[in-house]
Structure 1
Amino acid sequence: MKHLFVLVSTFGLSISHSAVWAAGDAARGAAFFQQCAACHSTTAGEHLTGPSLANVWERKAGTVADFHRYSDALKRATFVWNAKTLDKWLTDPEAFIPGTSMTFPGLRDSNARQDVIAYIKAISEGKAPTLAQRGGGMMMNMQSAHADLKAAPADGQVTAIKHCADTYTVSTADGKNNKVWEFNLRFKTDSSRLGPTPGKPVIVGAGMQGDRASVVFAGPGEISGFVEQACP
């Protein structure tokens, strides 16, 4: 495919969008897409860092319903997502749309891009291939790796949070008290269907050394009321 683009450029030939897409393999694209799944779900209405990609094919850029984190640059775009525009976007998002908030550096391999494009098209058509689940808890059927926090085990169910000096003590339903340096603890919210039950926050570990964590609440109004200023 890379050499084909060189020929097109050299001899001024044209190639249709459908022909470009046909070169891709959706099954291979599903495997490549694993690298994107941390930021993009393929479930309609489920948004992560980026919008759901369930129905973006032939949709005007920056218009996925209920996604509120588009950059101003993308909201001003006038094109639709198809084989041609996705190829430019996946090659170098910043060059295609200066000012985009997407930090992805680009997929330089042309064949890989066409495979991912084929997969995105297949998602919109309801024909996306699936992959067998592998270790690590990731859902390899290309649904979001976002866990259902309502089903958190006892050691993840937060019952109390106390703050003293530079330390948070997070108590969990298994009877343990976890002490975390305040700089290493984040408070987050998740109002999606996979978020925690209101009033029942969940603690999620993070960091290469296991020294960081996030407490996830159902909404921002819960945070201040849940944290108690108390020293032993």
Structure 2
Amino acid sequence: MSSHGAHEADTTLERTGPNPSSRPIAEEPPGAQRIGDILVEEGILQPDELAKLLDVQSTQEAHRRKPLGRIAIEFGFLTDRQLRAIIDQHGKRIRLGDLLVSRELITPQELDRALETQAEEGGLLGEILVRNGAVDEFQLTEVLADQCDLPYVPLEPEEDEIKLSTMINLGYAVRHGVVPVSRIGRVLTVALWHPSAIAIHDELEQSTGYSVRLVLDRRQSIYQRIRNIYGLSEAELVRVLESERPRAEVTTTVTEPASDLA
């Protein structure tokens, strides 16, 4: 096992096309079973349907190419929840550090240094890599989105965003790092910056009464939108963050498989 393999937790990925930075993407590790084959094995797809989805994927622009699992969801073959369950069941999870190395966004040496820092000081692997200048926040968020099979949606200001503040309590939003993005019919789109927040998907649906669609964006964008929606100054947001921090740390310990996810 590599020096970083002992530290990292498994996280989701299925990506068969070029990455957004146009650098080559390594194939899956030897012996790994592709998600398309798994979906056929599970009876979700027929071989001809898989071929059609692969054709769709191959026609997408390199920097906009979607994971196959995401395309299967968009075509109605399965739901987000079903895909996550299948991925978990089959162990289709590639470590964040290995994924960043395979996309040539960081070097193995940069990963090892970051893992050493994490072992000594704690913290999130992705944030350590950003702090070290090994990768920028945009690249990290794009990789995390693919890893979790969530859309990466850079947030834009909305004229009616204040109305969304009634959907999710401020303390809850800050504690979990989530923010409502839009409400169309009975579908509420919620953005998150850390994949561990996926664990509250069902809770959000129960508390809001809406079907919740999760998307991913950068931490800075999430908190800026929280400021906008709840009408907070920067100082007020800092105070809320400080007051929620102990509870957020407890929540992270419960819902997050390991601290090196991001």
What TM-score does the superposition give when structure 2 sets the normalisation length? 0.23
Structure ranking higher in strand proportion: 1
When the two structures are superposed, what TM-score results if normalisation uses the length of structure 1? 0.25
Which structure's relative contact order is higher, taking Cα pairs within 8 Å and 6+ residues apart? 2
Larger radius of gyration: 1
Bigger helix fraction: 2
